[in-house]
Amino acid sequence: MTSDALTLDEVLEQMLPQCNDSPFEVARWLNDRVEAGKVRLLCDGIVVPPKLYPTHLVAVGWIAPDGRPALQMTLRRSFGLDDKPIEQWTMERKSFEASRPNAPRNRGGRPREVDRERLLTTALIYAAVCGWPDTLDGEGGLFEKLEFELEQVPGRTTLYQIFNPIHDRIEDERNKSKKSKKKPVR
């Protein structure tokens, strides 16, 4: 098998988690994409024109007797293969990868230089263990703690953009909490 194509078993393996572990939903998803020309179907390495879907062939999902999910192509009508048997149905890898749900997509622009998820995770763990610091910057502040924990920390402007709204919200909640703890005067 060339690295430019995926077998039906490989397609099924990749798509089952995306389709509620149902081979029937995988077949439906695949039929829709092939018919729309988004995923290219290959018959023994030759591209099958999307116009042959669904009149001549269709993907069918089924459950094998041993309980394993399976996917196969079913011919409804012959489409000019000179009656020679089909050895293998495959999918073009590039079109499949681009059409797959949750496929990474290049949305343009510069790639992020800051791993915000890692920054936020580190800050959250620190806050859960030690409590939220009283300040963001300066001695004992959150930024100092992040510099200590992480190898690479972005500049102050980026840190303020990420953490200022969070810090402000925490301070607001702290102030509300302090006000509600005061006993009413009698």
Same domain, 17 and 73: yes
Same domain, 90 and 147: no
Same domain, 95 and 142: no
Same domain, 127 and 156: yes
| Residue 184 lies inside a defined structural domain of this protein | no
> Rounded to whole angstroms, how far apart are CA atoms 16 and 18?
5
- Going residue by residue through the chain, which has 186 residues, state the pLDDT in tens, using 9 for 90 and above: 446 899 999 999 999 988 989 999 999 999 999 999 999 999 888 888 888 887 888 999 999 999 999 999 988 887 665 667 788 899 999 999 888 877 655 556 666 677 888 899 999 998 899 988 888 988 888 998 888 888 888 888 888 899 999 989 988 888 888 887 766 566
Same domain, 67 and 20: yes
Give the range of the structural domain holding residue 75, as residue numbers without chain letter: 5-99
Same domain, 26 and 82: yes
| Residue 186 lies inside a defined structural domain of this protein | no
Which residues are paired to 57 by β-bridges? 75
Rg (Cα) of the chain, in Å, rounded? 28
Indicate the residue type of 99.
S
Could you tell me where the DSSP H helices lie in 2-155? 8-15, 23-35, 93-99, 116-130, 142-149
| Residue 93 lies inside a defined structural domain of this protein | yes
Same domain, 92 and 152: no
Structural domain count of the chain:
2
